[in-house]
Amino acid sequence: MNGMGEETGFEVVIVVPKGKRKEGGDMAEKGDSVEFLVRELEKAGLIVERFRGVPAEFLKIAAPLIVLGQAAAELELKKLTYIGMELQFEWDMVTAFVRQPDGSLFSWYERYSCFRHLLYGIVNKTDSNIALKFNDKDIKYEKNESLLKRLEIEGVVKQVFPLHDEVKRKQLLRKWALNWLDFTWQPVDEIYSYFGSKIASYFSFLGMYTRWLFFPAAFGLATQLFDFGRMQFLVLPSFFVFIISWAVFFFQFWKRKNSALLARKYFTFFLRSPDFVTNDSFMSGLAYMERITDNEVLFRHVYAKAEKGIGCFSVLWGINYSLNECKAMPSEANEFNYTDPIKKKFYSSRPAEKTSIQADEWWGIFRKVRNNVIVVLGIICLQLPFELTYAHLYNITQIEVLRYLLTAAYLIAIQYYTRIGGKVAVALIKYENNQGEDSSAASLVYKVFGLYFMQSYIGLFYHAVVYRNLGTLRKVLIQRLIVSQVLENLIENSIPYVSYNYKKYLALHKKKNDNSSPMGKNVRLSTRVEKEFLKPSYSASIGADLEDGLFDDYLELALQFGMIMMFACAFPLVFCFATLNNITEIRADALKLLAMLRRPVPRASATIGAWSNIFQFLIVMAICTNSLLLICLYDQEGKWRIEPGLAAILLIEHILLFVKFGLSHFVPEEPAWVRVNRLRNVSQARDLYSKQLLRSITKLEHKDD
């Protein structure tokens, strides 16, 4: 039994409580709901392995590719074909569809969607209700009801979660999490194929950010190490200009990289190096597509390339759209709800529909603005006085011990405050007319970030501006960076570990007390599945249904970015700390995901969008705050006269703001080669479709003759 548990191929597990063991070990009582579930799962074509672990009973599920394929066809999944178009998946045309970089047909996200569709798609198709039993409890399984949902409601199914793939996990652990040789390099493709696009884009952002951080870290170190003599007064302003330009360029290039990542999807494969696609299967797919399309010109071209052995085709990770379109797409599904059946009558004529949609839109904007006003007022009226009180008390307290007590009380208070704030934000966005999950998530991100922004920076501003106490500011900065970043890293990795061990202890302890089974004293968690069951999942500190653990990871990055950018001129060395911190962060996050937690549920959307806006906002804030800092530094005596120096700072500020908003005019967000590929695919598809439609007419007409 244990040996089987280590086998790959089982990708999802269903956890059920351990049923009472019948006399003679015969568990297959008539009408037993777990037994029934297993039979139904097997009927759906899934491979089920049932075994009793120490803490619970597990049903490990695997699926043959054909079953997944049929589920994908039922889901009407759109997949890229070798001719560069996305078509609805059909199992009998499988050769026409492009495979993943690692050779598998479906991406992890697609596979998991299919699994969910298969599991929750088991419904009672008979004409009558079925009576099921579990531990002597009666369960009524109604007509047309999803079995798994019913069992979840009745508490028979405790959890459904994806399993780690042991081989790939160990490979990633070796190549990525424990590979300390290259600081910032990461196997992005493998991360993508194991965790999906959302997590892969987080790590590629983190990696690029860390790599780029080396430059300001070097400059920051230089400002501390060298004495520039008479030019010393120019050092901070030039550091300011450098930092802002650095950040602006970094973000423009990140957007380009992001576009390229979306298009890594269009990766290149050569027919002569068919690691994952055999020449035969490719040629057959091509011939097949030719039969579909009858488009001689295109295929002559393709064949010509194929014969030369250097043919290359654009193949996707995911999607075939530009970044902007990508952002727009997820909400598409939701917008069709405008024409949902209930409202249909109302929308039967277009002008009425237009008016109604417009009313909906403005009402949505109104609610969004109202909610944001509530959040901003909440932050300003409740949090601001609180933070200022703390900063002030901290500043006037002379006794060290009192300070520590104050800080402790403060830390406890803000824990509660942010938790309440998060709940309020989640509650508020429910009343917003957000289009799709992605937009809700973004709205939540903005609101919660508002809270943390005030909490993290207002004290720093207080020291910087009101007291002009750069010494304290620096101390607080270092303290925050070390405490909030390094300690947080430790905590975020140790909490899962502690929680895992505690649960393990509980389970084993219960077992020992509960039942003096034949296995006797040497009770231990022998299978991987049991261990994973006890591990915590990758969840966000707020609103687990909207966001996963990436929320906390992005939040940490954003707060760090804000801290180092907004107070760059007060303490240039801070960039070195941030660099060191991020290098460890990459490995720590990787370890956490691979070793400490369950395999995360893959998510389709990438909310880097909302975070990207936050980073942009922080850059703009940094321009203003650094100007303010420079003015404070320049105008030590507090004369507040606009002398040349002060005017120069204001001028620099305006120029930098201008650069920030003008750069995208020169460096487009989408690299030209991505654009060329995308447009080529679009136009190819259009031409093909057009030809196809016209061709089918002529055929029909010939038939008529």
Does 360 contact a copy of itself by CB under 8 A? Answer: yes
> Taking a C-beta distance cutoff of 8 angstroms, is the pair 247, 622 a contact?
yes
Q: Which stretch binds a copy of itself (CB under 8 A): 34-42, 149-157, 323-331, 470-478?
A: 323-331
According to DSSP, the residues that pair with 134 across neighbouring strands are 137
The one-letter code for the residue type at 177 is A
358 binds a copy of itself (CB under 8 A): yes
According to the binding rule CB under 8 A, does residue 349 interact with a copy of itself? Answer: yes
279 sits near a copy of itself (criterion: CB under 8 A):
no
Q: How far is the C-alpha of 266 from the C-alpha of 80, rounded, in Å?
A: 10
In angstroms, the first-to-last Cα distance of the chain is 67
Write 418-427 long-range contacts (CB < 8 A, 24+). 418/448, 418/451, 418/452, 418/455, 419/542, 421/378, 421/383, 421/448, 421/451, 422/448, 422/451, 422/541, 422/542, 422/543, 423/542, 424/375, 424/378, 425/375, 425/451, 425/542, 425/543, 426/542, 426/543, 426/546
Q: Which residue has the tokens 């270092």?
A: 478
Q: For a copy of itself, how many residues bind (rule: CB under 8 A)?
A: 73
Name which of 338 and 505 has its Cβ closer to a copy of itself: 338
Q: Looking at 9-17, 164-172, 226-234, 635-643, which segment touches a copy of itself (CB under 8 A)?
A: 635-643
Residues 366-395 touching a copy of itself, rule: CB under 8 A, are 368-369
CB of 111: closest distance to a copy of itself in angstroms? Answer: 22
**What is residue 268's DSSP assignment?**
-
d(CA 427, CA 378): 14
Site string for a copy of itself, 298-317 (x = CB under 8 A): -------x--x-x-x-x---
Could you tell me the smallest distance in angstroms from the CB atom of residue 641 to a copy of itself? 5
Instruction: Give Cβ neighbours of residue 372 (< 8 Å, ≥ 6 apart).
Output: 446, 447
Task: Give 304 or 483: the residue with its C-beta nearer to a copy of itself.
Answer: 304
One character per residue 519-558, x = contact with a copy of itself (rule: CB under 8 A): ----------------------------------------
Min separation Cβ 369 and a copy of itself, Å: 6
Identify any residues that bridge with 267 across adjacent strands, giving them in sequence order. Answer: 315
- Binding residue for a copy of itself (CB under 8 A) from 354, 475, 510, 524? 354
Binding segment toward a copy of itself, per CB under 8 A, in 57-65, 169-177, 231-239, 636-644? 636-644
Report 81-100 residues binding a copy of itself (CB under 8 A): 86-88, 90, 93
Q: List the interface residues with a copy of itself, window 216-235 (CB under 8 A).
A: none
In the list 143, 300, 524, 680, the residue contacting a copy of itself (rule: CB under 8 A) is: 680
Nearest-angstrom CA–CA distance, 425 and 484: 23
b/e for 386-413, b at 16 or more Cβ within 10 A? bbeebbeebbeeeeeeeeeeeeeebeee
User: Residue 152, Cβ neighbours under 10 Å: how many?
Assistant: 16
Among positions 224, 268, 389, 515, the unique one binding a copy of itself when judged by CB under 8 A: 268
Determine, following the binding rule CB under 8 A, whether residue 663 of this chain makes contact with a copy of itself.
no
Residue 273 interacting with a copy of itself (CB under 8 A): no
- Cβ closer to a copy of itself: 40 or 437? 437
Q: Exposed e or buried b for every residue in 319-332, given b needs 16+ CB within 10 A?
A: bbbbbeebbeebbe
Binding residue for a copy of itself (CB under 8 A) from 64, 491, 643, 664? 643
Q: Which of 351, 521, 534, 558 binds a copy of itself (CB under 8 A)?
A: 351
